[in-house]
Amino acid sequence: MSSTQDMLVHTEAGVTTLTFNRADKKNSITEAMYAAMADALEQAAQDAAVRCVVFQGDLAIFSAGNDIADFLQQSSKGAAPELAGERPVWRFLRLLAGFPKPLVAAVCGPAVGIGTTLLLHCDLVYAGDNAAFSLPFVNLGLCPEAASSLLLPQMLGYHRAAEALLLGEPFMAEAALEVGLVNRVVPPSECNALAQAQARKLAAKPLSALIETKRLMKAGQASEVQARMQEEGASFARLMAGPAAKEAFTAFMQKRKPDFSSC
């Protein structure tokens, strides 16, 4: 299993907990962290003693999304088209979307990009009242990932999804509760404990029944989700090489506002 102190993996009483442990960097996700999460999901799926997986972060920040510097460094290495899909981020997303057991998330503070889209694949999501969800892909000259272009309109309705994906502006915990992205909103100090308590309830139930119930609920969209993720990935790679993304990332590194007037 891949190991990094930035991504803690702990299993106890049938629950595997994945904790973003990089608060000094706003829990931004590196390639090594994606690899650790992918390995943890793969192992949890195969381990009959694990009944549930929980994602959690810091009380002040869930995740700022991709670590931009690391993302650019990894992207600059390049990869043959047939191998690009094997990068840890894509492997993690495939395992997340196809994970057979319950997934629970505790979200406090900002959840940016993948910090929000991974929640679309969770079965139970609990939010601190300080949670803020944002999907700023367009602002980076990119397109959505994790099948969010499919799942978000289904969950929020087209116009709310368009507002979230086209403008990329944050929406808060109560709005997320209203549209069904989260199950419950609590004070941040209670959020992780609530998610753990719910996960323990799930872990006490028969695994075969949990897996079959989740399979039946997702059966109608499983193949469509995987197909959309593949389509998004191809579009993401194409846009990543385009002028808008180059301008957005250059502006980010130079700490200035991007100029998309010629993009």
DSSP string, 65-130: -B-HHHHHHHHHT---HHHHTTSHHHHHHHHHHT--S-EEEEE-SEEETHHHHGGGG-SEEEEETT
Q: What is the mean pLDDT of residues 171-199?
A: 98
Q: Is residue 201 part of a domain?
A: no
50, HSE (Cβ side, Cα atoms, 13 Å): 23
User: Cα(20)–Cα(8) distance, rounded to whole angstroms?
Assistant: 7
Q: Binning pLDDT at 50, 70 and 90, where does residue 77 land?
A: low
Query: What pLDDT shows up at residue 141?
Result: 96
- Does the residue 12 lie in any domain? yes
Q: Which of 157, 149, 188 shows the shortest CA–CA distance to 175?
A: 157
Instruction: Confirm if 175 and 89 have CB atoms less than 8 A apart.
Output: no
Residue in 8, 1, 10 with CA at minimum distance from that of residue 196: 10
- The residue type found at 101 is K
* Residue 196 lies inside a defined structural domain of this protein: no
- How many structural domains is the chain composed of? 1
Burial 152-174 (b: 16+ CB within 10 A, else e): bbeebeeebbeebbeebebbebe
* Residue 194 included in any domain: no
Question: Given this model, what pLDDT does residue 72 score?
Answer: 81
Coil vs helix vs strand at 171: strand
Length reported for the chain = 263
Predicted confidence at residue 87, as pLDDT, reads 87
Angle at 217 between CA 103 and CA 232, to 5 degrees: 70
Q: What CATH number did the domain enclosing 12 receive? A: 3.90.226.10
Q: What is the model's pLDDT at position 195?
A: 98
State the pLDDT confidence band at 2, using cuts at 50, 70 and 90.
low
- CA quadruple 7, 193, 151, 252: dihedral positive or negative? negative
Which residue range forms the structural domain that includes residue 124? 7-187+206-254
C-alpha span between 253 and 256 (Å, rounded): 8
State the pLDDT at residue 82: 40
Cβ atoms of residues 118 and 96 within 8 Å: yes
Distance CA 90, CA 146 (A): 9
Q: What is the pLDDT of residue 11?
A: 97
Q: What is the rounded CA–CA span in Å between residue 225 and residue 231?
A: 10
- 64 domain-assigned: yes
Give tens-digit pLDDT for 9-53. Answer: 999 999 999 999 999 999 999 999 999 999 999 999 999 999 999
Percent of the chain having pLDDT more than 70? 95
- Residue 60, pLDDT score: 98
Per-residue pLDDT tens for 227-250? 999 999 999 999 999 999 999 999
**Residues 115-152: pLDDT tens digits?**
999 999 999 999 999 999 999 999 999 999 999 999 99
- 141: number of CA atoms within 13 Å, CB side? 22
Per-residue pLDDT at 83: 43
Q: Name residue 201's amino acid.
A: K
Residue 172's DSSP bridge partners are 132
Residue 1 inside a domain? The answer is no
Say if 261 falls within a structural domain. Answer: no
> Which pLDDT score is estimated for 81?
41
Asked, for residue 246, whether it belongs to a domain, the answer is yes
Is pLDDT at 89 greater than 90 in this prediction? Answer: yes
Give me the chain's average pLDDT, please: 94
